[in-house]
Amino acid sequence: MPGGVRIGVTGADGLLGRALRRRGASGWTRAELDVTDPRAAERALARSRPDAVIFCAALTDVDACARDPRARAVNVEAPAWFAARVPTWLVSTNYVFDGPGPHAPDAGPAPINAYGRQKAEAEDRVRAAGGHVLRTGWLFGPGGRGFASTLFDRLRAGPVQALRDWPVQPTWADDVAEALLTLPEGTTHAIGAEEADWATVAAAACALLGLPPERVQPVEALGWGDRPEDARLAPATLPGWSERLPLLLKAR
């Protein structure tokens, strides 16, 4: 970490939070800190006295964000509260954009679902308080719950359906953690340099496992709810997914 800076991480039990803790950041899991409780947050800051907070806590279920009243408290009010009290880096999402991409850091957000709108508002409020924003997306790594993180186990269990017409930039969570720990100022992007679709990623995972290619069943993404058509980010400077996918297999 830069210059012995004490960094606290919210959502420290998540994929990115765990990667940050492995690199020396301290943090609070969901069980240890309800980020929507100002009194609990005040006590947590008073005990830990971090020089900076990386705010990873989020409710990321797109459909739940539209119906769960707690989503706004977690995704908007909580990071704004922290940013008003301690230098804060908000981990935001590529879902603040829709097509066509890739989208630069200074591009105007155009979210099309509640999750994206909440994160876009959080970005504005964190920056207004003097904080910083790092956007990323499609994270994968050991212990993750997303498509890429669980891909090897799912392929071993049987056929896997994978979208073939949705551009993605799968990104290794540990690479994003390294980028975050430099505490980049302003609004920045940290995303994998290699584009694909999920069917291509699944086919590569299938080959690494030595399974027949028919185990992957490509499907169309048309009509897949209120997800952005193209949420790619630029610049894409982190290692590509094909370089990192064998690391995930080794960690299983």
Annotated catalytic sites, by residue? Answer: 115
SS3 60: coil
Instruction: Compute CA distances 202 → 55, 197, 211, 235, 249, whole Å.
Output: 31, 9, 11, 24, 12
Q: What is the 3-state secondary structure (H, E, C) of 88-118?
A: EEEEEEHHHCCCCCCECCCCCCCCCCHHHHH
- Quick count: other Cβ atoms within 10 Å of Cβ 12? 22
Q: Which amino acid is at 89?
A: W
Q: How many Å is the maximal CA-CA distance in the chain?
A: 55
Torsion of CA 199, 205, 207, 210, to 10 degrees: -130
